[in-house]
Structure 1
Amino acid sequence: MPRPPGHGPGYEIKRQQIIDQAADLFAKQGYAATGIAEIGKVAGLAKGALYYYIGSKENLLVEIQNRVLGPLLDAARNIAALDEDPVLRLRLLSETLLEIIFARLDHIWVYEHDYRHLTGENRSRLIAQRHEFEQIVTDLLTAAMESGAFRKMDPRLAMLQFLNMHNHTYQWVRPGGPWNAAFLSQQYCATLISGFRSPDYDASDLEKRVEEFRARQSEEK
């Protein structure tokens, strides 16, 4: 068998291609039903060369999860730290989450369905990251309640409603369809806020405030 390629200029490009190909296979067939030989066939690599790039099949699952959670957590931390009211930050977080779903539909399918196949430290790290994101959402919802914008309710139940409305979008949305992430975020948040808001809270200017925030961000760049 030929020696696997070394770490030349194309190494990382090829590794990223393999992750893309694996995500597509896992989304169509499931992680457990996809063999390493099948991944190698699609990637055009013998088994030894494939392992050189990926280390193990589980490493592919880790990389796919990281492509979702890495940018999502980075963005969520930045949004949570903004000096803006919590309802506006929830709206920004909503759109960010949907943008990632739209950008990586196959990865999201694997993220939602196959994370339980991770083992040991890989699984512990993923669960900790998921919990961190859930806590950011919970904290923003709690802050909205404390500000008087939202009525008092169980913060965890509110967080689950927020995530359930967003996270299942991957099951039916199609690239190039009539709705983009910005439109869906606007609609989702309008629905959620109408149910969550306190009687005296007026959210009619929320989209205007989103536009003003983005204009300020553009000026600062």
Structure 2
Amino acid sequence: MINRKNVARMAGVGAAATMAIGLFSTGAANADTFVPLPGGAMSKTLSDGTVVSIRLVGESANINPSMGSTPLHRNAWVSGSAQVDVSGDGKGSIFPGYTVGCQVNIAGGGASGGVEGGADWSGDTVKPSIGATSGGNLTLGPGQSNSFYILDLEQADDFGSEVHKKRNKFSGGSGSVTWADSTIGLNGCGGYAQARAFISVEVETDNVISWVTLWGQPFSLG
């Protein structure tokens, strides 16, 4: 497995990416394919009238369909930026991640069992399961899927011990997270495989706490 540095930039700013289609390799047999992706955008009005807007921009994937020269292995490096705006200076947390499936249709969101703990990933009000995977190295058989979070943020808890968080908190009505070359490693899948980005946001206002999820476009892992 090739490890590359995962970069997460946490701020109320976005990122722009200039993308081109091409092949990057030392030989045709192990060519990496660069795939620009369209990202996405959505707005949702909460029960108290708060408007939440989520955008996925600068999204791309660099895909190696056969790591280790075997059809059971895939590897991809994904990049993108999640941008969130909440009316009324709301606050919350951003949870970016990916769902990966082996010979299963993930076009409607996550598949059953996609997140450990049984969360339903088919709608736009998804609350991530506490048991969701926090790394992109997955082993899946036919008909299986799983989801993982991009972020692994180290910080100290109230007692000074190191803890790891899968979200970026924001306040003042806006926030963003940008990642570059985060690894998706898939083992054990002998058929077609797909992946799909998601941005789940927990929003807190004076009157409501709610979850809103934006899904990116599914893309092939080969």
With structure 1 as the length reference, what TM-score do the two structures score? 0.27
Higher normalized strand content (fraction of residues): 2
Kindly indicate whether structure 1 or structure 2 has the higher relative contact order, using CA contacts under 8 Å at least 6 residues apart: 2
Q: Which has the larger radius of gyration?
A: 1
With structure 2 as the length reference, what TM-score do the two structures score? 0.26
Higher normalized helix content (fraction of residues): 1
